[in-house]
Protein backbone atom coordinates (compact mmCIF):
# COMPACT_ATOMS: atom_id res chain seq x y z
CA UNK A 1 0.00 0.00 0.00
CA UNK A 2 2.79 2.41 0.93
CA UNK A 3 4.66 1.63 -2.32
CA UNK A 4 1.58 2.56 -4.39
CA UNK A 5 1.24 5.91 -2.55
CA UNK A 6 4.92 6.64 -3.20
CA UNK A 7 4.61 5.78 -6.92
CA UNK A 8 1.56 8.01 -7.24
CA UNK A 9 3.40 10.88 -5.55
CA UNK A 10 6.39 10.48 -7.90
CA UNK A 11 4.13 10.40 -10.96
CA UNK A 12 2.41 13.60 -9.75
CA UNK A 13 5.84 15.26 -9.54
CA UNK A 14 6.79 14.04 -13.03
CA UNK A 15 3.60 15.53 -14.44
CA UNK A 16 4.17 18.74 -12.49
CA UNK A 17 0.82 18.35 -10.72
CA UNK A 18 2.82 18.71 -7.53
CA UNK A 19 5.86 20.99 -7.80
CA UNK A 20 8.98 19.57 -6.22
CA UNK A 21 12.72 19.86 -6.08
CA UNK A 22 13.12 16.47 -4.45
CA UNK A 23 16.13 14.58 -5.83
CA UNK A 24 15.14 11.23 -7.33
CA UNK A 25 17.43 8.47 -8.60
CA UNK A 26 16.44 7.54 -12.16
CA UNK A 27 17.75 4.83 -14.45
CA UNK A 28 19.90 6.89 -16.84
CA UNK A 29 18.98 4.78 -19.90
CA UNK A 30 15.25 5.40 -19.35
CA UNK A 31 15.78 9.14 -18.83
CA UNK A 32 17.89 9.45 -21.99
CA UNK A 33 15.19 7.64 -23.96
CA UNK A 34 12.45 9.98 -22.67
CA UNK A 35 14.53 13.02 -23.69
CA UNK A 36 14.38 11.80 -27.30
CA UNK A 37 10.94 10.17 -27.25
CA UNK A 38 8.92 12.93 -25.58
CA UNK A 39 8.09 16.57 -25.99
CA UNK A 40 6.98 19.23 -23.53
CA UNK A 41 3.28 20.01 -23.73
CA UNK A 42 1.46 22.92 -22.18
CA UNK A 43 -1.87 24.62 -22.66
CA UNK A 44 -0.69 27.90 -21.16
CA UNK A 45 -2.80 27.56 -18.00
CA UNK A 46 -1.19 24.54 -16.38
CA UNK A 47 2.49 23.70 -15.92
CA UNK A 48 4.24 21.92 -18.78
CA UNK A 49 4.35 18.10 -18.82
CA UNK A 50 6.39 15.49 -20.65
CA UNK A 51 4.30 13.66 -23.22
CA UNK A 52 4.84 11.26 -26.11
CA UNK A 53 5.52 12.98 -29.44
CA UNK A 54 3.44 10.34 -31.26
CA UNK A 55 0.26 10.06 -29.21
CA UNK A 56 0.45 12.54 -26.32
CA UNK A 57 0.63 9.83 -23.64
CA UNK A 58 2.24 10.89 -20.39
CA UNK A 59 5.54 9.69 -19.00
CA UNK A 60 5.19 7.42 -15.99
CA UNK A 61 7.68 6.01 -13.53
CA UNK A 62 8.00 2.57 -12.01
CA UNK A 63 9.57 3.05 -8.60
CA UNK A 64 11.38 0.15 -6.95
CA UNK A 65 13.86 -0.17 -4.11
CA UNK A 66 17.20 -1.28 -5.56
CA UNK A 67 20.62 -2.27 -4.24
CA UNK A 68 23.38 -0.17 -5.84
CA UNK A 69 26.82 -1.61 -6.60
CA UNK A 70 30.09 -0.08 -7.77
CA UNK A 71 30.97 -1.56 -11.17
CA UNK A 72 34.76 -1.34 -10.60
CA UNK A 73 34.98 -2.82 -7.11
CA UNK A 74 31.71 -4.83 -7.21
CA UNK A 75 31.05 -3.62 -3.67
CA UNK A 76 27.65 -2.65 -2.38
CA UNK A 77 27.28 1.15 -2.19
CA UNK A 78 23.64 1.58 -1.14
CA UNK A 79 20.91 -0.71 0.10
CA UNK A 80 17.29 -0.41 -0.97
CA UNK A 81 17.26 3.11 -2.38
CA UNK A 82 14.21 4.20 -4.40
CA UNK A 83 15.00 4.18 -8.12
CA UNK A 84 12.57 5.27 -10.84
CA UNK A 85 12.49 3.76 -14.32
CA UNK A 86 10.74 6.17 -16.70
CA UNK A 87 8.52 4.89 -19.51
CA UNK A 88 5.96 6.16 -22.01
CA UNK A 89 2.50 5.00 -20.96
CA UNK A 90 1.35 4.90 -24.59
CA UNK A 91 4.28 3.14 -26.28
CA UNK A 92 6.10 1.09 -23.65
CA UNK A 93 5.06 -1.80 -21.41
CA UNK A 94 5.48 -1.27 -17.68
CA UNK A 95 9.17 -1.99 -16.92
CA UNK A 96 9.76 -5.43 -15.43
CA UNK A 97 11.96 -4.18 -12.60
CA UNK A 98 11.52 -5.69 -9.15
CA UNK A 99 12.48 -4.66 -5.66
CA UNK A 100 16.05 -5.55 -4.67
CA UNK A 101 17.16 -5.90 -8.32
CA UNK A 102 20.86 -4.93 -8.43
CA UNK A 103 21.97 -1.89 -10.40
CA UNK A 104 25.36 -0.23 -10.88
CA UNK A 105 25.90 3.34 -9.70
CA UNK A 106 27.01 4.45 -13.18
CA UNK A 107 23.56 3.46 -14.50
CA UNK A 108 21.84 6.05 -12.28
CA UNK A 109 21.21 9.74 -12.66
CA UNK A 110 19.84 12.03 -9.97
CA UNK A 111 17.12 14.44 -11.09
CA UNK A 112 15.12 17.08 -9.30
CA UNK A 113 11.51 16.52 -10.24
- Compute the distance between CA of residue 69 and CA of residue 99 in angstroms, rounded to an integer: 15
Better-scored residue on pLDDT, 71 or 47:
71
How do residues 57-101 score in pLDDT, each as one tens digit?
989 999 999 999 999 999 999 999 999 999 999 999 999 999 889
- Compute the distance between CA of residue 29 and CA of residue 99 in angstroms, rounded to an integer: 18
Question: Quick check: 103 pLDDT over 80?
Answer: yes
CB 69 within 8 A of CB 76: yes
Report the pLDDT value the prediction gives residue 48, as an integer from 0 to 100: 72
User: Residue 59's domain spans which residues?
Assistant: 2-112
Report the pLDDT value the prediction gives residue 113, as an integer from 0 to 100: 64
Enter the DSSP assignment of 73.
T
- Domain count of the fold of the chain: 1
Report the pLDDT value the prediction gives residue 20, as an integer from 0 to 100: 58
How do residues 30-40 score in pLDDT, each as one tens digit?
999 999 999 88
Amino acid sequence: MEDKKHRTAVEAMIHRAVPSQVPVHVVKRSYDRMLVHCTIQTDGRTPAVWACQKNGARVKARMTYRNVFNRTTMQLESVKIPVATLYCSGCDPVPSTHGNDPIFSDELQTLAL
